[in-house]
Amino acid sequence: MEKKSPLIIGIGELLWDMLPTGKKAGGAPVNLVYHATQLGADGYAISAIGKDELGEEILKALTDNGIKYSITRNDHPTGQVDVSLSDGIPRYTIMQDVAWDYIQASAQAVDLVQRAQAVCFGTLAFRSEESRRNIEILLNSCPKETVRFFDVNLRSPYYSRDLIDHLLQKADIFKVNEEELSILQDMFSLSGGTDEVCRELIRRYNLGYMIFTAGEKYSAIYTSCEKSEIATPKVAVCDTVGAGDSFSGAFICNILNGRSFYDAHKSAVKTAAFVSTKSGAWPSYEDGTTF
């Protein structure tokens, strides 16, 4: 019997990254789904867009890139983020009161999450009351065995200790970068070095995996009793937009396909390195590209 592709769903912001080189479709949960799809998953995005030209364009971008979706439309503008780059590192100015602040728990979206092997989310889409309420409905509709991947993805001022604590209680996998871990260490009064802090979060929230990325230096993945650490490959960086999301997509896709967490980590590192050499969050994969 042919092995079925895992159904991986990203719930949250869908938007245009307005880069110096032009606009690119993005949003962390959708970026993750794009890369999981490129690596063989059955990927879906759940979000909302406006009844505007940018909305039409983003639907076409999703279709052209093989991303399936359950997306509602409303009278608010399609999301945009102004992205400035410094040595390839992005800085974001996020437009407020946009379409993805009004995500709906549609019947189609509920059906999808009830069949999903993994659901991925972050803090940003919880900034509005309506999206928060409906994403909660979707997360609560997931079967017990669905893997819940929480990439904290901190974007000031759209997060709080209470929100992060709440979402950690729902998570099986938690991903942070170096800057975010420092913020969480202060926020949650966590003492010690990176290893101690990551292991304490695993213990405190009963996580299956804790993912820590330190940019150009290294990344580490923890379980309750093991650790994998890999140095970041040296590549010619174009920009790092979406690189962390590609890491997440590759890791969860490989885990669901039965690979060890060490091998899944290797794939995630190679995928993120590849994406860093390209412009934007959805670079084209050559036919047969695997990591």
CB-based contacts of 226-229 (< 8 A; 24+ apart in sequence): 226/261, 227/195, 228/261, 228/262, 228/265
Predicted confidence (pLDDT) per residue in 153-207, tens digit:
888 899 999 999 999 999 999 999 999 999 999 999 999 999 999 999 999 999 9
- Read off the DSSP letter of residue 291: -
Instruction: Tell me how far CA of residue 137 lies from CA of 51, 111, 140, 146, 183, in angstroms.
Output: 24, 12, 5, 15, 28
In this prediction the pTM is: 0.92
Pairing mode, if any, of strands 15-19 and 22-26?
Answer: antiparallel
Which residues, 6+ apart, have CB-to-CB distance to 224 below 8 Å? 199, 202, 203
Phi, psi for residue 54 in degrees, rounded to 5: -65, -35
The whole-chain average pLDDT of the chain stands at 91
Q: Are 275 and 246 in contact (CB under 8 A)?
A: yes
3-class DSSP assignment, residue 66: coil
Cis peptide leading into 6, omega within 30 of 0?
no
Max avg pLDDT among 23-32, 85-94, 137-146, 230-239: 137-146
Question: Can you list the domains of the chain with their CATH numbers?
Answer: 7-276 (3.40.1190.20)
Phi, psi for residue 90 in degrees, rounded to 5: -85, 150
Residue 45 banded pLDDT, cuts 50, 70, 90: very high
Q: Are 27 and 62 in contact (CB under 8 A)?
A: no
Predicted confidence (pLDDT) per residue in 113-124, tens digit:
999 999 999 999
Inter-helix orientation angle 161-168/194-205, to 10°: 60
Predicted confidence (pLDDT) per residue in 58-81, tens digit:
999 999 988 999 999 999 999 998
Chain centroid to CA 283: 16
d(CA 217, CA 265): 15
Residue 130 has pLDDT above 60, yes or no: yes
